[in-house]
Structures are given as structure tokens and as C-alpha cells.
Amino acid sequence: MSTYTQIIYQIVFSTKNRERTLQKERRDDLYIYIWGLLKNKECHLYRIGGVEDHVHILTHLHPTVSLSSLVKDIKLASSKYIKENKLFIDFNGWQEGYGAFTYSVKEKDNLIEYIKNQEQHHSVKSFKEEYLEFLKEHQIEFDEKYLL
């Protein structure tokens, strides 16, 4: 018997201290690099996007890939890529944690649009406000002292 899964994750993480270091002009280079990492792990990327202080990744994980190892690999490899290629001069790394939220495949198109429109979305809402909404929507218990 084969393994079949259809779990869509929206993975969200920010720059260290939410520093606004991911300049728009070079973000596509970062996104293409992360897409390559996902392809190498046989994960399907639906959409990647973000703004100066955080990234959203909408992906399906291959059944052999654990979420925590994927995020760890993305953050380590992309940090190295950013520094070696001087992609974002003031980049000091990624925050320690991350958010990962699961969705039905029926929600995929709305999520793609949501991630496409991050610039517009964040003209009226901060990352912290957005992140708190995700945590509450998904009924995740959290301690506010750990949210920068």
C-alpha cells in the first residue's frame, strides 16, 4: 500500500527581533532559493511571500519530511544563503520559533491570495497582530511574553 496525504501547512516565521531587513527588491531571490529547498525535499510549494520582517510559506509536506526538520533546514540554509550572497545587508538571522498552521485543500486558493497580498495586508496590520489572529483562530495556547 502507498502513503497518501493532503496536509497543507502555512509556515510563518520572522526575522530576528522582527527587524525590517528583507528588502522588496531581493525577496524573490530568497523565495526562489527556499522553493529549491522544498523541491529537494519533495514538498510542493503553493505560494511563498511576505514583507520586510517575515515570510509565509504555503506548502504540502512529503510524508517522509517532518515539519520541524523542514523549518530548521529552511532557516539554516536560507540564513547561510543570505549572508554568503549579501542578499539583505542588515539581516541578522531568523527568530527562534515559527508558526505552522494546517488547512484543508479547499482553503488553498484563498490562502494563495492571502499570501500574494501581504504588502497590502500589512499596510494596515502588524505582523504581531496577524500572528495573534492565527494563534487564536487555530486555538493554540500561548504565553504573550514569548511574542516579541
**What is the domain partition of the chain in residue ranges?**
8-146
> Model-level pTM?
0.90
Supply the pLDDT for residue 146: 67
First to last CA, the chain: 46
CA nearest neighbour of 147 among 131, 136, 134: 131
Q: Name the strand (E) or helix (H) holding 50.
A: strand 44-51
CATH number for region 8-146: 3.30.70.1290
- Is residue 55 a contact partner of residue 37, using CB atoms and an 8 Å limit? no
pLDDT digit string (tens) for 2-46? 888 888 999 999 999 999 999 999 999 999 999 999 999 999 999
- HEC readout, 7-23: CEEEEEEEEHHHCCCCC
Q: Quick one: CA dihedral 25, 27, 30, 35, positive or negative?
A: negative
Quickly count: other Cβ atoms within 10 Å of residue 75's Cβ: 18
Q: What is the mean pLDDT of the chain?
A: 92
Return the ∠ at Cα 21 (arms to 121 and 43), rounded to 5°: 70
Whether the pLDDT of residue 118 is over 60: the answer is yes
Strand segments, DSSP code E, in 70-115 are 99-103
Which residues make Cβ contacts (< 8 Å) with residue 12, sequence separation at least 6?
A: 54, 55, 56, 57, 98, 99, 100, 101, 131, 134
